């Protein structure tokens, strides 16, 4: 399992999982709150074992059927497992609205809401 380590900047990753670049082709970087938001998004949205940059991270959230009666509990469990390598992060809840899964997490005093991509959205 990877353990999350604070870094002041990180390479930005776009929604396709590619390195993000600005209009001139230069690599885009994120830091601070944006870096934490990206890290949470990757940990929660990547399929476990499929994230090319680190196969030990990811979650099983993508497998969850939003119409299942226990879906929110299952999503919260998957989220806690996915964020276990980031001890500063705490899952504070999850919700499903119109088939869209959102996980809520706290890192320190900051609250984050992460919309999790699911398999059929890829």
State pLDDT tens for residues 6-45. Answer: 556 788 877 777 888 988 999 888 888 889 998 999 899 9
CATH code assigned to 9-121 = 3.10.450.40
Enter the pTM of the model: 0.81
**What pLDDT was estimated at residue 101?**
94
| Residue among 33, 86, 32 at smallest CA distance from 59 | 86
At residue 78, the 3 state secondary structure works out as helix
Mean of per-residue pLDDT scores for the chain: 86
Write down the residue that tokens 């990206």 correspond to: 38
Q: Retrieve residue 58's tokens.
A: 């990811």
Q: Retrieve residue 86's tokens.
A: 């980031």
What is the distance between the alpha carbons of residues 36 and 41, in angstroms, rounded to a whole number? 9
């Amino acid at each position: 399992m990877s353990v999350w380590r604070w870094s002041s900047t990180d390479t930005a990753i776009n929604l396709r999982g590619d390195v993000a670049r600005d209009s001139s082709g230069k690599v885009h970087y994120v830091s601070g709150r944006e870096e934490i938001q990206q890290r949470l998004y990757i940990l929660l949205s990547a399929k476990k074992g499929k994230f090319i940059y680190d196969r030990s991270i990811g979650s099983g959230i993508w497998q969850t059927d939003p119409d299942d009666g226990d879906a929110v509990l299952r999503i919260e469990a998957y989220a806690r497992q996915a964020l276990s390598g980031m001890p500063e992060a705490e899952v504070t809840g999850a919700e499903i609205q119109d088939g869209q899964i959102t996980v809520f997490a706290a890192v320190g005093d900051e609250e984050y809401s992460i919309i999790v991509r699911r398999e059929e959205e890829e």
